[in-house]
Chains A and B, each alone.
Chain A
Amino acid sequence: MSARLIFGRVFSNVIQKASYDRNKLTCNSLYARFLSVQSRYLSTTKKKVKNIEKKHCNIGTIGHVDHGKTTLTAAITKVLSKDGSAKYVSYDEIDKAPEEKARGITINAAHVGYSTKSRHYAHTDCPGHADYIRNMISGASQMDAAILVVAANDGPMPQTREHLLLAKQVGIQYLIVYINKVDLVDQDVVELVEIEMREMLSDFGYDGSNIPMVMGSALKALNDDTSEIGVPSIKKLLDTIDNYVPQLIRDLESPFLMPIDNVFTVPGRGTVVVGTIKRGVMKKNDEAELMGFGQNIKTTLSDIQIFRSSVLEATAGDNVGVLLRGMKLRVVETGMLLCAARSATLSNHFTAKVYFLSRSEGGRKKPIFSKYSQQMFSGTWNIACRIDLEPTVDMMMPGDHGEVYLTLLESMVMTQGQPFTIRENNVTVATGIVTGTLPSVDVPNGKLGKVVFNHESK
């Protein structure tokens, strides 16, 4: 009897689905059609997305305008274009890169991409201090490492100190020095430049004696000169970067944290929240807290699913759906965070770095004072928020950037580096990133304007 059933099933399938596109059919899907089963149950290999992607690094050049930053960038792309791992970007293309507008903010930087054997690099130039901070706050640029370009005939300039100050301020840990134009001077001058640079780097808190230095001539390399200071110097520089800058790993040690992107009910099972895990590892039946908008609800992870199939654990980077035990749908809002129990604290008071869009970028015309209250938007949620300036700062003009205090109407969990924008009547006036969490402050009767602070001068 069962044989007849099977035969009947197969027969009806064949009759129904008469038209196949031969090219699209694989063995699995053919069987699937015959047996009217979903094809994914037949596939045996689970996709391992993580291991295939090449590792990534953000790098940039800093230095005096005439010392050869742009020439070096062009030379790197040229040398790597020979292997096919980059597209050659000429000096003129980099130099005259048009101003881009990202989310209304003018970005004055040329972005170039290239790959070595071990990594893919996103390379940016650093034309100015304020420009770079602005790009960083708005999320357009990031530097994990930097190449400091110094010409041997000039040596370090007075403003090289300011370049190093920026690197320190922004938190760049890995600096490589490229001593350029060595063909114009003698060896003893090059050695002197090296010594001076090492001293200066130590002055700024870098390990002067161990910072790698590469000598060469970017111009010669750009002109395909194969002597030691030409193309080989560029290859040596790239090797040094590959080996010296370690790969930044996804944080797997910390307690897990997942911002909620979406929430829905599965009939018969309960409330499921969806998001991408920001850090840590979550396991089935872990204790968790759902935090945000003044709420802190304890719950348990009853089930975790990736691509609609249950798993026992999920790690940072995975996009998951989590079934929360005993959670009511109406309690959950996007913007809340699902964290490991007792790992995060709610607060309504934070420090942040903010950039106010200039008038020409569509921002405000008039300056901002403390007690400035507007809507803050982050990800998919928004909340009323009040900005207060440092006690020593009178006001902030459009086009300025600086550290401010944020006070939210309700307590939330915000992680370091979390980006947000401030909108006035639906027009973006400021963009920022959270830098730290402070103890909550009292908001009397939900009126932000009445909050009183006691910020000690730092």
Chain B
Amino acid sequence: MKQKVKSYSTMILQLVRRLHITPVCQAAESSLLAKLRKKTGYTIANCKKALEMNNNDSDKAEAWLNEQAQAMGWAKATKLAGRKALQGLVAVKYDKNHGALVELNCETDFVAKNDKFQKVLEDATLACYKFAHTNLQSKGPITKLELDSEQLGGLTADGGKKLSEVLALFIGSVGENAILRRAECWKANSSDVKITAYTHPAPSTPRDYSTGKYGALLAYKQPNDVEDVGKQICQHIVGCAPRKIGDKDKDKPSKNADDETCLIFQEYLLDPSYTVEEIIQNNKLEVVDYVRFSCGEEAEEEMPGFEKQPLDTVQTLQ
């Protein structure tokens, strides 16, 4: 008799259990999964795991996912670290006395067009721009801060996270290697030095923030009564890629005008009948300094014996 009761009860238990995991219940779990995935955008596998670990509580699963995303981002970033990342974009943000130029790389240009990439780039450029409003000041007309990947990663973005964390999250979501390659943050040390920037492709209406495959920052002096041609010179620098400004006394123009590497001897891009030297003389402009980034230029080899110093210990910057 006892055995019969036992066998009946196990049968009933099994029946109840089977009822509990019928397709009806599975469907409910699936639509939870769909909702979570739609809301958070994390991979389906991770969303499913989150639900399983949190008893199908959507809110707890979402919190868990957000926590995990950072760790998983780091893991993915480490996993993909060796892969070549030469696509991407260069961005500039500037005002009259400050300028920031940043390069962010990824593996394919599909990702470079994606708005998540654009957001990371904008965050990074904004962080560099803020950094350019630094109290540090060097001798000379402008304060130039060159940042490499590590130093860039250490900057803080608007939300409070470090740029390296933002980047890792991004890598976790697109599954491609991405690198904050380099940045330049400039500050004019006196009011007569102006800063301007240009990217190619240029936006249709001039803006203080733009992105492109090439970018340049230019620091120059020009009296206020003359037409400002700084932007045009910056465009020339992007288009003709001079290696240095050039010194009239020391450098000579090269034999072939096409191969000219000194800015002053190059044919002016917007009017090849003049050289840049003539243009800057006619417009009373003095070129202080410039820098040009071309996205995907090979990262320079680390020089042996060179030690990178954390930024807050660097005293003189020239």
Interface residues of A, Cβ cutoff 8 Å to B: 64-66, 127-131, 152-155, 157-159, 161-163, 165-166, 184-186, 188-189, 191-193, 195-196, 365-367, 369, 392-395, 397, 400
Contact = CB atoms under 8 A, between A and B. Distances in A.
Given A129-B109, A188-B30, A367-B269, A392 B37 contact: no
B260 to A, nearest CB: 10
B109 A130 contact: yes
A436 to B, nearest CB: 22
Contacts of B176: 64-65, 159
Contact of A64 (B29, B175, B258): B175
A16 B176 CA distance: 78
Nearest to A66: B175
Contact of A196 (B37, B110, B214, B258): B37
B83 to A, nearest CB: 9
Listed residue (B111, B173, B235) with the most chain A CB atoms within 10 angstroms of its CB: B111
A159 B214 CA distance: 23
B74 to A, nearest CB: 18
Interface residues of B, number: 37
B43 A397 contact: no
Contact of B204 (A128, A365, A392): A392
Nearest to B106: A159
Given A127-B108, A192-B33, A395-B239, A158 B45 contact: no
A418 to B, nearest CB: 27
Given A65-B176, A158-B174, A189 B44 contact: yes
Contact of B114 (A130, A158, A186, A400): A158
A356 B224 CA distance: 39
Interface centre among A153, A154, A159 (most CB of B within 10 A): A159
Given A367-B239, A394-B202, A155 B108 contact: no
Interface of B: 26, 29-30, 33-34, 37, 41, 43-45, 48, 87, 107-111, 113-116, 173-176, 200-202, 204, 213-214, 235, 239-240, 258, 269-270
Contacts of B269: 366-367, 395
Contacts of B111: 158-159, 162
A366 B258 contact: yes
Contacts of B30: 188, 191-192
B143 to A, nearest CB: 30
A165 B109 CA distance: 12
B200 A394 contact: yes
Contacts of A184: 45
B201 A159 contact: no
A154 B175 contact: yes
B214 A65 contact: no
A324 B272 CA distance: 50
Contacts of B270: 369
A192 B114 contact: no
Nearest to B41: A158
Contact of B108 (A152, A159, A366, A400): A159
B119 to A, nearest CB: 11
Contacts of A397: 200, 213-214, 239
Contacts of A129: 108-110, 113
A323 to B, nearest CB: 51
Contact of B87 (A128, A155, A393, A395): A128
Given A394-B235, A395-B200, A395-B235, A365 B44 contact: no
Contacts of B109: 128-131
B240 to A, nearest CB: 6
A229 B116 CA distance: 34
A161 B116 CA distance: 12
B27 to A, nearest CB: 9
Nearest to A364: B258
B44 A192 contact: yes
A372 B139 CA distance: 45
Closest 5 CB pairs of A and B: A392-B204, A162-B110, A367-B239, A155-B44, A159-B110
A131 B109 CA distance: 9
A309 B213 CA distance: 58
A241 to B, nearest CB: 23
Nearest to A160: B110
A395 to B, nearest CB: 6
A398 B139 CA distance: 38
Contacts of A165: 113
12 contacts: A64-B175, A129-B110, A152-B44, A153-B45, A159-B114, A163-B110, A193-B44, A365-B258, A366-B269, A369-B270, A395-B235, A397-B239
Contact of A366 (B34, B174, B200, B240): B240
Contacts of B173: 157-158
B43 A154 contact: yes
Given A65-B176, A366-B269, A397-B200, A128 B44 contact: no
A161 B41 CA distance: 13
A189 B175 contact: no
Nearest to A368: B239
Contact of B116 (A130, A158, A400): A158
B26 A65 contact: no
A159 B235 contact: no
Contacts of B258: 365-366
Contacts of A157: 173-175
Contacts of A158: 41, 111, 114-116, 173-174
Nearest to A190: B44
Q: Which of B48, B200, B202, B239 has the most CB of A within 10 A?
A: B239
Contacts of A195: 34
A367 B33 CA distance: 51
A191 B240 CA distance: 53
Given A159-B113, A192-B34, 9 more contacts: A64-B176, A130-B109, A154-B43, A155-B44, A159-B114, A192-B37, A366-B240, A366-B258, A395-B239
Contacts of B33: 188-189, 192
A374 to B, nearest CB: 15
Contacts of A392: 204
B108 A65 contact: yes
Contacts of B48: 186, 189
A163 B113 CA distance: 10
Contacts of B29: 188
